[in-house]
Amino acid sequence: MGAGVPGVVTASTVDGVVRRSAGRTPDRTALRFGDREWTYAELDAGVSRVAAWLLGLGLGKGDRVAAYGYNSDAFLLSFLGCARAGLVHVPINYNLGGGELVYLLEQSGSTVVLTDPKLAGRVEDIRSEIPAREVLALRGAPESVLEVARDPSAPDLVPTEVTDTDLVQLLYTSGTTSRPKGAMMSHRALVHEYLSCVQALDITGADRPLHALPLYHSAQMHVFLMPSLAVGAVNDLVEIPEPGDLLRRIEADGITSFFAAPTVWVGLTNSAEFAARDLSGLRKAYYGAAIMPVPVLRRIQERYPGIGFYNCFGQSEIGPLATVLRPEEHVEGRMDSCGRPALFVEARLVDETGADVGVGEPGEVVYRSPQLCDGYWDKPEETAAAFRDGWFHSGDMARRDADGYFTIVDRLKDVINTGGVLVASREVEDALYLHPSVAEVAVIALPDDTWGEAVTAVAVLKGPATEDELIGFVRERLAGFKVPKRVHLAEELPRNASGKLLKRVLRDEFTERIRG
C-alpha cells in the first residue's frame, strides 16, 4: 500500500475507508446513535469538519488528542477527524479517573482532551497535573466535536498529507499485570486489520450490527465498527451496554450481528430476559478472546442453533484480531479452540529459547504481521522485550493441532506449576462452569509447602453449592492433580476498568491471607 498524496485521501488511510464508502453509498445510513442518524455522505463531511476544527486549534501533525468519553457518534468522529488531520487519537477508558487518568494523559503527552460533560469534572480535578493545553467537549456544548461535525458553515479542511505509515492511534493495553503501555498503531496496520476482519468474520454491507462494547477498546472499534463502515453496513451504536436492553434491541431492531466479550455473554445468559427474548434474527454472534467458558457457549447454541458463532482472539498490539474460529469450525472437539490465523497474520508457537514446539505441545504464541503496532509509545525497553528476532511475543500460551488450529492454554503468568506438573487454569475453570450454581470463576496458583503452587478456585455463585461439593464436581471430570485444593466463595471477582479479570489481585489477596 502506497503513501498518501497531499490533499488526497487514499484507501490506505483509516479515514479513507469511510470516504470510499461515502463514494459508493452516499445516501445509505452509516450510523444510528440514539435519535441521530448519519448517512455515509454526512459522516464523511462531518469528519472533514472535525479535522479542520482540530487543526484550527493549533495542533500539528503527530500531536496526540485524547478522547475520554462514552460510546457516541461524537467519539467515532473524534477518531476519524484525528485520522484525517494527521493527528494521533488516544482513546481512554471512561471508568478511569485520578492517578490512572493522569498517567495516561501524561504518558501519551496529549495536548488536547475531548470529553463528555459527565466526565469533564474528573479532568478538571487533575488539570494542573496533565500536559493538555485545552479540554473540549465531545458533545453537549456549542463548541464540541458533535456540533462542529453537524455545522455546514464550519471551515473547510486545508489538505493535509497523511501517509499509511503515520501513527493514527495509541491503543493502551489493559494493564492486567503492569501499567498500561501505548501500542503505536499506524494507518497501514489498522487498514490491514480491517481487511482481515472483513474476510474472516464475513462482514458485509447487508449486516445490521449492534455495537455495544466501549469504543475506547480496540475490539469494538477496529474489529467490528470500522470494518462494518468499510463495507457500507448500517450500524447501531449503544452508549453503555446493559444486558436486558441489549436483548430487547436485538429482538426489536432487526439486529443480525453482535459482538460481546465473555463477561457480557455470561451476563446475557444469566439475565432473566434471556429465556424471554426471541433472538432468532441474529445470524452472526461474535465473542472475544479464547477464555469464553465452553459451557456458556453451549447454552446459547442449544437455544439458538441457527446463530453462527465466531471466536475472535488477539490483543491490542495486533489490531487486535489475530485468529478466528468460524461457525463451521465450532464442532465437537474444537469448541475451546480460538481458530487459525487471520488473513494478514503469521503465528508460531515457541519455547523459552525461541524454537518451534511440536504439534500438541504448549508454547508461547508469537506473531508477524502488517497489523502489528510499531512498538510501545516512549517505552523502548518494553518494545525491545516484546519484539524479538522479528516476531512479537504475545505472552499467551497455546497448543496447535495437526490442522493448524490454536487452543489458548493460558497467559504465561497464569499457568500453575503444582508438584512439578503444569496445569492450565482455564481447563479447571471450564470444568467448574459446568456446575449449575457457578456464575463466574477464576482459578489461580497459591503458594503451598507441599505442592509449591496449589490449584485454587475463587467462585461467584448463582445457586447453592459448598466448597466440598465443587471440589468433588471437578474431581469427577479432571485428573487428580488438576482438582482445586481449595475453593473460595466470593461476591464478585476483581476486574480492571476494561472489564478484564485481575487474577494478580486474587493471588495477592489470598497469598496475604495464607501468610497471615
Q: What pLDDT is attached to residue 291?
A: 61
High-pLDDT (> 70) share of the chain, %: 93
Kindly state whether residue 388 falls inside one of the protein's structural domains: no
Query: Which residue among 142, 176, 191 closes a domain?
Result: 191
- Over residues 228-255, the mean pLDDT reads 94
Listed range (45-54, 114-123, 471-480) with the worst mean pLDDT: 471-480
Q: What pLDDT is attached to residue 422?
A: 66
Residues 6+ apart with CB under 8 A from 501: 176, 263, 442, 493, 494, 495
Kindly state whether residue 494 falls inside one of the protein's structural domains: yes
What distance lies between CA 352 and its chain's CA centroid? 27
What one-character DSSP code corresponds to residue 405? -
Kindly state whether residue 215 falls inside one of the protein's structural domains: no
Kindly state whether residue 398 falls inside one of the protein's structural domains: no
Q: Tell which wins on pLDDT, 504 or 57.
A: 57
- Over residues 65-83, the mean pLDDT reads 98
Query: Which residue among 159, 191, 223 closes a domain?
Result: 191
Domain ranges, residue 497: 415-515
Which of 394, 428, 386 shows the shortest CA–CA distance to 411?
A: 394
What one-character DSSP code corresponds to residue 357? P
Kindly state whether residue 279 falls inside one of the protein's structural domains: no
Q: What are phi and psi of 153, to 5 degrees?
A: -90, 0
Residue bearing cell 452516499: 26
pTM: 0.83
pLDDT category at 503 given cuts 50, 70, 90 is confident
Q: What pLDDT is attached to residue 269?
A: 83
Q: What pLDDT is attached to residue 268?
A: 85
High-pLDDT (> 90) share of the chain, %: 70
What distance lies between CA 455 and its chain's CA centroid? 28
In the chain, the amino acid numbered 449 is D
User: pLDDT tens digits, residue range 156-190?
Assistant: 888 789 999 999 999 998 654 457 899 999 999 99
Q: Please state, in angstroms and rounded to a whole number, the distance separating the CA atoms of residues 251 and 263.
A: 21
Dihedral (CA of 321, 297, 255, 220) sign: negative
Kindly state whether residue 261 falls inside one of the protein's structural domains: no
Q: What pLDDT is attached to residue 1?
A: 35
Degrees, nearest 5: CA angle 466-262-214:
130
> Could you tell me the CATH number of the domain that includes residue 187?
3.40.50.12780
User: pLDDT tens digits, residue range 11-22?
Assistant: 589 999 999 999
Neighbouring C-beta atoms of residue 126, cutoff 10 Å: 16
pLDDT category at 246 given cuts 50, 70, 90 is very high
Q: Give the 3-state secondary structure of residue 16.
A: helix
Q: Give the 3-state secondary structure of residue 504.
A: helix
Q: Give the 3-state secondary structure of residue 259.
A: strand
Q: What is the dihedral of CA 58, 60, 65, 71, to 10 degrees?
A: 90
- Asked if 436 and 404 count as a contact pair (C-beta separation under 8 A), the reply is no
The three state secondary structure string of 443-465 is EEEEEECCCEEEEEEEEEECCCC
- Asked if 498 and 104 count as a contact pair (C-beta separation under 8 A), the reply is no
Kindly state whether residue 335 falls inside one of the protein's structural domains: no
Kindly state whether residue 162 falls inside one of the protein's structural domains: yes
Q: What are phi and psi of 514, to 5 degrees?
A: -60, -45
User: pLDDT tens digits, residue range 247-257?
Assistant: 999 999 999 99
Q: Please state, in angstroms and rounded to a whole number, the distance separating the CA atoms of residues 132 and 80.
A: 20
C-alpha cell of 269? 445468559
Q: Are strands 346-350 and 363-368 parallel, antiparallel or unpaired?
A: antiparallel
- Over residues 505-511, the mean pLDDT reads 88
C-alpha cell of 462? 448463582
pLDDT category at 502 given cuts 50, 70, 90 is confident
Listed range (309-323, 355-369, 457-471, 502-516) with the worst mean pLDDT: 502-516
What Rg, from alpha-carbon coordinates, does the chain have? 23
User: pLDDT tens digits, residue range 93-139?
Assistant: 998 889 889 999 999 999 999 999 999 999 999 999 999 999 999 99
Q: Please state, in angstroms and rounded to a whole number, the distance separating the CA atoms of residues 515 and 413.
A: 21
Q: Please state, in angstroms and rounded to a whole number, the distance separating the CA atoms of residues 491 and 505.
A: 15
pLDDT category at 358 given cuts 50, 70, 90 is very high
Q: Is the pLDDT assigned to residue 506 strictly greater than 80?
A: yes
Q: What pLDDT is attached to residue 498?
A: 57
- Asked if 287 and 261 count as a contact pair (C-beta separation under 8 A), the reply is yes
What one-character DSSP code corresponds to residue 223? I
Q: Please state, in angstroms and rounded to a whole number, the distance separating the CA atoms of residues 286 and 258.
A: 6
> Could you tell me the CATH number of the domain that includes residue 431?
3.30.300.30
pLDDT category at 3 given cuts 50, 70, 90 is very low
Listed range (204-218, 428-442, 447-461) with the worst mean pLDDT: 447-461
Query: Which residue among 191, 223, 255 closes a domain?
Result: 191
Total domains, the chain: 2
Q: How many H helices and E strands in the chain?
A: 16, 25
